[in-house]
Amino acid sequence: MTHLLLDTCTLIWLVSDPTRLSKRVVEALNDRTIDLYLSDTTVWEIGLKWQAGKIGLPAPPRLWIEEQSARWLFVSLPIRRPHLYRVTELPEHHRDPFDRLLVAQAIEEGLAIATPDQQIGRYPVAVLW
């Protein structure tokens, strides 16, 4: 595994409560040979949850996410049309639209996903936890 996509909860725990991360994920996060991907899907989800008051951040998402991206050297993963088409082709294992889009991106880009979400493991995507 050389490419790892972070689930939204994985990013938040990485920064706010790393004890919630599995040992395998911590090892991968600290392995500089692994490219860490942060999807625009996660940026969108965090922004909406912050705006709705469902999550608290020490700074607005625009600042907080960019600070974390610079600190962890995240590779930005934009949302592209093939990702959106793939979402419509996935079975309904998961109802969360953000998670479904992350799965679609991982499939299209050949990425593993760092997530504790067992439903994601039902898709044809590598999961690290």
* Span 65-108, pLDDT tens digits: 999 999 999 999 999 999 999 999 999 888 899 999 999 999 99
pLDDT confidence of residue 95? 87
pLDDT confidence of residue 20? 97
Q: Choose among 92, 122, 86, 88: nearest CA to 106.
A: 86
Query: What domains can you pick out in the chain, each with its CATH number?
Result: 3-128 (3.40.50.1010)
* Chain-centroid distance, C-alpha 127: 11
At residue 12 the predicted structure's pLDDT band, cuts being 50, 70 and 90, is: very high
> What ranges make up the beta strands (E) of the chain?
3-6, 35-39, 75-77, 112-114, 127-128
Coil, helix or strand for 123? coil
Q: Is the pLDDT of residue 1 over 90?
A: no
Cβ atoms within 10 Å, residue 18: 11
In contact, 49 and 55? CB cutoff 8 Å = yes
pLDDT confidence of residue 78? 98
Claim: this prediction has a pTM higher than 0.75: yes
What average pLDDT is seen over the chain?
Answer: 96
pLDDT confidence of residue 94? 83
